[in-house]
Chain A
Amino acid sequence: MTEKIRITTPLTEEQARKLKAGDSVLITGTIFSARDAAHKTMVEALDRGEKLPIDWQNQIVYYLGPTPAKPGNPIGSAGPTTSGRMDAYTPKMLEQGIKAMIGKGSRKPEVVEAMKKHGVVYLAAVGGAAALISKCIKKYEVLAYPELGPEAVAALEVEDFPAIVVIDSEGNSYYEEGQKPYRRL
């Protein structure tokens, strides 16, 4: 495995553009969770010309809906959800200044185009490694849409959160690159 790159939030466009597909990163700082219902709610708010409940400029979004925290823990299990479901809303969200997205699975071409335009990277965490990932989350605080339950927008304080750059700001995909050598059909 390659040397891990440490990144801290907030993340500037210049920093995001330096990350390349295949890089392993460890993220420390505050990241923000949002998934299906929160994306729909936020994009509808933007369409009405309203302000979003948080400023996404230079922030990292994590596609997450955690399990409830057991007493004494900051959060329950907290792995990534499938990013593709957010694709319909992503180009609009990237206009808000998001510089990295954490999820799992492939993205649509229009998302990759928006990433290139705004200098954004897409990171994957290991799908289903939710108990393991929760160990690097130190704090979970709901900031908006509490009525959405596990789908609320929340701030997460993370320490050395492990992820891999799967699509970089030039549109290179590590999923394709990683899978091709083993395709023997």
Chain B
Amino acid sequence: MRTIEVEQITQAIAKMCMEACYYLPEDVYAALVEGQKTEESPLGKDVIGQIIKNADIARNEDRPICQDTGMTVIFMEIGQDVHFVGGNIVDAVNAGVAKGYTEGYLRKSVVAEPLFNRKNTTNNTPAVLHTSIVPGDKVKIKLAPKGFGSENKSELKMLVPADGVAGVKKVVLDTILHAGENPCPPIVVGVGIGGTMEKAAILSKKALLRNITERNEHPEYAKLEQELLELINKTGIGPQLGGTTTALAVNVEWYPTHIAGLPVSVNISCHATRHAEVEL
């Protein structure tokens, strides 16, 4: 049994909120640089150039890459031999978000209730927290500030087995075409296939937190990722005003599913695909 003070979680999360919002991950930055080279539209090249310059300014001056510093999504893998002490772990997570968003001059974009009153909570809490229990005595935290320009353009479809690969490709393509230039392309696309309705949605979010240079370990899914990327880059949407760099990468995650089902979730992330990771 390993004891961890929840205050340590609070501090780690506060730091990750700020770092994720200021520093574009290297994998995404490198893909933008590469995209600028291969982009066929001159205006598209110029737009990617501005996006790169923006990321440089944000990194050098500790400024948010985007004014939408998102709703904070956290995946926490908790070792089964960990014992949290010193308070409630969920409260500690939210205290970290509040601290990070307040001290980091990040925008508070969360309303306390979605439909009737929509009053801002003024500290960006609560986070959307996904926990899982894993072997060992470590705690791994992955954090993604998720902007809603792209979140709003995400879709989930319950396909049937007969829809197959063609059906999955159609769901992804239709989602991207419907999203158009709205989600701030070049985008990163997370696709979750299988499980149940909510499992597919969570998988698609998890897919966005994977390094975009890494392909799925399963060769057929890795091939699907590549094919989907090529398809998306034929839409012409490009870096907002037209071009060939609509997406930087497609990450697919999958899970076993029911004999009657083929759930597909498509979660879109803008060019500011921000994430931070820490192991305690």
A residues whose Cβ falls under 8 Å from a Cβ of B: 1, 37, 64-70, 76-79, 81-82, 84, 104-106, 124, 126-135, 148-150, 164, 166, 174-175, 177-185
Contact = CB atoms under 8 A, between A and B. Distances in A.
Given A70-B105, A174-B241, A105 B180 contact: yes
A64 B184 contact: no
Contact of B65 (A77, A174, A181): A77
**Interface residues of B: mostly helix, strand, loop or mixed?**
loop
Contact of A182 (B120, B122, B236, B271): B236
A183 B246 CA distance: 11
B104 to A, nearest CB: 9
Contact of A76 (B42, B64, B180, B244): B64
Interface size class of B (residues with CB under 8 A): 35 or more
Contacts of B231: 185
B182 A132 contact: no
B105 A131 contact: no
Given A68-B105, A185-B235, A178 B41 contact: yes
B267 interface: no
B241 A178 contact: yes
Contacts of B272: 128
A176 B64 CA distance: 30
B107 to A, nearest CB: 4
A153 to B, nearest CB: 15
A78 B58 CA distance: 12
Contacts of A79: 66-68
Given A70-B105, A135-B57, A179 B236 contact: yes
Contact of B67 (A67, A82, A175, A184): A67
B66 A150 contact: no
B182 A84 contact: yes
Contact of B241 (A70, A128, A133, A175): A175
Contacts of B120: 148-149
Contacts of B240: 104, 124, 126-127
Interface string B50-92: 1101110110011111111100000000000000000000000
A183 B235 CA distance: 5
6 contacts: A77-B64, A79-B67, A104-B182, A132-B57, A134-B63, A177-B242
Counting from the closest, the 5 A-B pairs by CB-CB distance are A178-B242, A183-B236, A127-B184, A105-B182, A182-B236
A81 B68 contact: yes
B68 A105 contact: no
B50 A132 contact: yes
A126 B47 contact: yes
B152 interface: yes
B107 A150 contact: yes
A68 B109 CA distance: 12
A28 B176 CA distance: 35
Nearest to A1: B46
B234 interface: yes
